[in-house]
Amino acid sequence: MELMLVSGNGCASCVSMLDIASNLAKKHNLDFIHHELEDDDKIVEKYGINKVPSVLLTDGDKLIAMVGGFQPYEILDMWIDYKINE
């Protein structure tokens, strides 16, 4: 499984989420992927992203879950744990 952060250029919340998401990926033994919308606009269409930052839990090309907007470490940690064990 992978934890993917989709961010936008100049987005302050996205910068904050980069450390949070990468640290939580390590904690949960997930591969971490970071996409900038400006570099990969196909990802918006593929996953229906309408907000940055967005955090996606994927398994290959399959979307398991997605949450949009800034998420504090503790909340995102609980969300990942819940979605992995669903």
Instruction: Give the model confidence (pLDDT) of 49-59 as tens digits.
Output: 999 999 999 99
Instruction: Provide the whole-model pTM.
Output: 0.93
Got the DSSP string for the chain? Answer: -EEEEEE-TT-HHHHHHHHHHHHHHHHTT-EEEEEETTT-THHHHHHT--SSSEEEEEETTEEEEEEES---HHHHHHHHHHHHT-
- Asked if 62 and 8 count as a contact pair (C-beta separation under 8 A), the reply is no
Largest CA distance in the chain: 34
Look at residue 42 in the predicted model and tell me its pLDDT.
87
